């Protein structure tokens, strides 16, 4: 989601048409998956990525040609001889006008925090190639655009600054709430970290968050504190004995030996990302399958 924010910002600042490159098909192994985007603004600014930096200069040059001709182009990159990846990717490069309905749809996802499936055409008649704000059945690629993760930090302490900075680096929306009464609207793309470091405030926040749609609820502090807070919930009657709390993570974070606020922030954000992606958070070198989930090639 971070790249969509930066792409929209580059488009708005460019004051003219831009070139949008979208990965529409992947065969074998590649750095990015279908739906990855790279943007060349009218003023030459770029945003987003299609690789780890291997393709972007070449795609930008092709984007300048598309800007000049107005005709979309579909380009295949064989990554095997040049970059060591065991696959190929197809990239659609199209001209995007300043008042693009497609970009308006992306901006709406950010503003409303409601997911939206968009469509991309890249087969058949080249005159119908391009990205559209709706995904008709006939579209060649259906791409689900999700709102950014919303990270809610409950409590005002020194580590809030580091956590907020790390989250914003990932493109997440950050909301600071000193107490439970300041909680924003929560949704299924929300992670909450309770870190008031005061038992009463932590308890009030945890009680208010029970049953929320947030996918992650982290408690900063030792395991003993988590047990104490859960016990208070039982005593208060807010939680029935034996009720599972699968979304409560305490102590919050992965075991990376973090001690400073920045290290703890990295640990917590890494765990949130792992939970969001349905991963255990272990070393990639011990993963038996590939790094990325496999996608069947379109067509």
Q: Which CATH class is domain 150-277?
A: alpha beta
pTM of this prediction?
Answer: 0.85
Are the C-beta atoms of 64 and 93 separated by less than 8 Å?
A: no
Return the higher-pLDDT residue of 19 and 198.
Answer: 19
> For the chain, what percent of residues have pLDDT higher than 70?
92
Are the C-beta atoms of 101 and 133 separated by less than 8 Å?
A: yes
Are the C-beta atoms of 21 and 3 separated by less than 8 Å?
A: no
Show the tokens assigned to 44.
């030459």
Element (H, E) at 102: helix 101-112
Q: Which of 32-36, 162-166, 190-194, 238-242 comes out lowest in average pLDDT?
A: 238-242
Show the tokens assigned to 17.
């048409």
Are the C-beta atoms of 38 and 18 separated by less than 8 Å?
A: no
Domain spans in the chain, listed from the N-terminal domain onward: 2-145, 150-277
Angle between helices 159-169 and 261-277 (to 10 degrees): 40
| pLDDT number for residue 292 | 57
Q: Which of 128, 234, 240, 249 is nearest to 192 (CA)?
A: 249
Model confidence over 138-168: pLDDT tens digits? 889 999 999 999 999 998 766 789 999 999 9
Model confidence over 81-136: pLDDT tens digits? 666 667 889 999 999 999 999 999 999 999 999 999 999 999 999 999 999 999 88
Q: What is the mean pLDDT of the chain?
A: 88
Q: Which of 40, 49, 38, 35 is nearest to 17 (CA)?
A: 40
Return the higher-pLDDT residue of 197 and 77.
Answer: 77
User: Residues with Cβ < 8 Å from 184, sequence gap 6 or more?
Assistant: 150, 152, 175, 177
């Amino acid at each position: 989601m971070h790249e969509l924010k930066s792409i929209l910002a580059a488009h708005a600042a460019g004051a003219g048409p831009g070139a949008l490159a979208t990965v529409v098909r992947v065969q074998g192994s590649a750095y990015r998956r279908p739906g990855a985007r790279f943007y060349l603004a009218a003023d030459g600014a770029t945003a987003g990525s299609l690789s780890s930096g291997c393709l972007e200069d070449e795609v930008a040059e092709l984007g300048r040609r598309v800007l000049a001709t107005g005709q979309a182009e579909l380009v295949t990159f064989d990554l095997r001889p040049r970059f060591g990846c065991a696959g190929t990717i197809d990239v659609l490069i199209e001209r995007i006008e300043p008042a693009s309905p497609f970009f308006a749809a992306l901006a709406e996802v950010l503003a409303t925090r409601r997911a939206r499936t968009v469509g991309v055409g890249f087969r058949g008649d080249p005159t119908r190639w391009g990205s559209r704000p709706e995904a008709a059945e006939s579209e060649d690629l259906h791409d689900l655009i999700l709102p950014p993760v919303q990270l809610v930090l409950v409590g005002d302490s020194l580590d809030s600054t580091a956590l907020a900075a790390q989250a914003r680096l990932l493109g997440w929306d950050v909301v600071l709430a000193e107490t439970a009464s300041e909680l924003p609207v929560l949704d299924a793309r929300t992670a909450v970290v309770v870190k008031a470091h005061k038992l009463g405030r932590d308890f009030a926040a945890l009680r208010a968050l029970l049953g929320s749609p947030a996918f992650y609820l982290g408690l900063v502090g030792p395991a003993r504190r988590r047990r104490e807070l859960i016990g208070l919930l039982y005593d208060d009657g807010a939680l029935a004995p034996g009720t599972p709390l699968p979304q409560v993570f305490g102590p919050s974070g992965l075991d990376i030996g973090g001690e400073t606020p920045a290290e703890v922030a990295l640990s917590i954000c890494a765990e949130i990302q792992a939970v969001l992606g349905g991963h255990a958070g272990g070393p990639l070198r011990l993963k038996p399958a590939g790094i990325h989930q496999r996608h069947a090639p379109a067509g």
